[in-house]
Structure 1
């Protein structure tokens, strides 16, 4: 194949790679770090409560009881907004969640952080927001930058290969 055709194919390929990387690692408005942190802490707390139930045959009355029994070695964490997690034991199950950004206990509704299945509001957490003009422009600029960087790396590699080939050819002729 001709070098120009290969170069053109590489440009298309590098643009696709850059787009995929951008979509995977930096989707604007699709996640909030405090919600992710709350999910991690909630998973740990749910696991500790479940272990307590298995070992003692009943649910604990509070998270303090779980900590005192040795299932939370580092203590009871605060949620990402600095508040206590809400724990309510029922007969066979329990509720465990963060009151979220507004600090109001809405019994798991509203902006309370409960689990991955819940929809979190664009207004409160900037999650699931439609793409605006600024985000779209940022995406286009990031794509342009990433593909330009890939072009530069490929150009340097091509120059290096040709320079090495010319050097090797020069040594053979001598």
Structure 2
């Protein structure tokens, strides 16, 4: 014959609701800070990728004598253009990545305002201009 212990006690519905409310309040304070960090992290990744492009572009110019044309684009850092005999790349290890928001980087040579080239990511919205996570990430800043 088994004897049941009636002294065993579980959580009441009220106690569970209190815990759920506390967890909800904590997540309401933590989540915005966490997701704000993600946006800043993507901007930092875009800046780092543009710096890698700049190093590759400089090495390309040293070997070939000029920067890739706008038509050749950043792909010229990974795959040899047909018309470049002095190309000694690849100048990027893994090809040309998309920006952190999954858009293609914009490359122009010559660049605007007298620059030799421009490399631009238009940010999260993929449109020129904007602020915050939508702000442009450019090679000249």
TM-score after normalising by structure 1: 0.45
Aligned to 1:89: 109
Aligned to 1:65: 76
Render the CA deviation track for 1:22-50: whole Å, top value 9, x for unaligned: xxxx9xx7881111111111110111011
Say if 1:45 and 1:115 are closer, same or farther in 2 by CA, change over 3 A.
Answer: closer
Say if 1:116 and 1:53 are closer, same or farther in 2 by CA, change over 3 A.
Answer: closer
When you count helix as a share of all residues, which structure comes out higher?
1
Residues 1-174 of structure 1 mapped to structure 2, 5 A cutoff = 32-61=40-69, 62-69=73-80, 70-90=90-110, 93-104=116-127, 106=128, 109-110=129-130, 111-114=135-138, 117=141
Say if 1:36 and 1:86 are closer, same or farther in 2 by CA, change over 3 A.
Answer: same
CA deviation after TM superposition for structure 1 residue 73, in Å: 2.4
SS at match of 2:96: coil
Say if 1:47 and 1:33 are closer, same or farther in 2 by CA, change over 3 A.
Answer: same
Render the CA deviation track for 1:116-166: whole Å, top value 9, x for unaligned: 94xxxxxxxxxxxxxxxxxxxxxxxxxxxxxxxxxxxxxxxxxxxxxxxxx
Count of residue pairs the alignment pairs up: 88
**Unpaired runs of at least 5, structure 1:** 1-25, 118-174
Whose RCO is larger (CA < 8 A, sep 6+)? Answer: 1
**Unpaired runs of at least 5, structure 2:** 1-32, 81-89
SS at match of 2:108: strand
Q: Is the 8 A contact 2:77 2:92 kept in 1?
A: yes
**Runs ≥4 residues deviating over 2 A:** none
TM-score after normalising by structure 2: 0.54
Render the CA deviation track for 1:83-105: whole Å, top value 9, x for unaligned: 1111001076000011111111x
After superposition, the CA RMSD in angstroms is 2.6
